[in-house]
């Protein structure tokens, strides 16, 4: 009952803010609510406050005792929804696939089926001694991604 009330309020708030979307929602037995959101343009503290208020201001504290935590998906948190990839075009991703490949490259494209990573590699020359820099590319389907993280550069 309480979970349904919170879910409905959360969905109403997300319908109001189409740029925000849900990554994770949990409600523990002692009414600790944890909501993780992301946004097409990132998430500001004000966005977390908007979601928090949409729930807090519409639940009767006399009837339900609860604590609420609204967080944004962190920079080092793995990407879990296809929608999260678009805002990371141009950044480096580290992708682990279900077929045991580890890829790292620039996210150059996101389409309905998956992502395209691009990188440069040093390979032996086809003829003669030495190495040559070669442009590489990999298409990775969303359903083959085990884990994808943005690589932060300092």
CATH number for the 82-150 domain, one of 3.30.450, 1.10.10, 1.10.3470, 2.30.30?
Answer: 2.30.30
Token pair for residue 113?
Answer: 């089926």
Instruction: Please report the pLDDT score of residue 112 as a whole number.
Output: 95
Half-sphere exposure for 51 (CA within 13 Å, toward CB): 30
Instruction: Please report the pLDDT score of residue 75 as a whole number.
Output: 78
Going by the DSSP 8-state scheme, the letter that residue 78 receives in this structure is P
Total count of residues recorded for the chain? 154
Instruction: Please report the pLDDT score of residue 152 as a whole number.
Output: 85
> Where in the chain do CATH 2.30.30 domains reside?
82-150
Instruction: Please report the pLDDT score of residue 120 as a whole number.
Output: 95
> Where in the chain do CATH 3.30.300 domains reside?
2-72
Q: How far apart are CA 21 and CA 1, in angstroms?
A: 23
Dump pLDDT digits (tens) for 105-149: 999 999 999 999 999 999 998 888 889 999 999 999 999 999 999
Q: How far apart are CA 127 and CA 146, in angstroms?
A: 38
Q: How far apart are CA 13 and CA 47, in angstroms?
A: 10
Q: Which residues of the chain have pLDDT under 50?
A: none
Instruction: Please report the pLDDT score of residue 76 as a whole number.
Output: 80
Q: How far apart are CA 104 and CA 150, in angstroms?
A: 10
Instruction: Please report the pLDDT score of residue 70 as a whole number.
Output: 96
Half-sphere exposure for 8 (CA within 13 Å, toward CB): 7
* CB 55, CB 10: distance < 8 Å: yes
Say if domain 2-72 classifies as CATH 3.30.300.
Answer: yes
């Amino acid at each position: 009952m309480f979970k349904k009330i919170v879910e409905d309020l959360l969905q109403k708030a997300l319908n109001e803010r189409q740029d925000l979307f849900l990554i994770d929602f949990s409600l523990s037995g002692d009414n600790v609510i944890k909501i993780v959101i992301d946004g097409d343009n990132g998430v500001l503290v004000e966005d977390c406050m908007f979601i928090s208020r949409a729930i807090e201001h519409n639940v009767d504290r006399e009837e339900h005792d609860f604590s609420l935590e609204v967080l944004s998906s962190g920079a080092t948190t793995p990407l879990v929804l296809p929608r999260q990839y678009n805002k990371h075009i141009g950044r480096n991703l580290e992708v682990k696939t279900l077929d045991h490949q580890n890829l790292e490259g620039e996210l150059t494209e996101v389409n309905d089926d998956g992502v395209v990573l691009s990188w440069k590699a040093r390979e032996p020359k086809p003829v003669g001694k030495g190495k040559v820099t070669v442009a590489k590319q990999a298409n990775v389907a969303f359903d083959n991604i085990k884990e994808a993280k943005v690589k932060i550069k300092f």
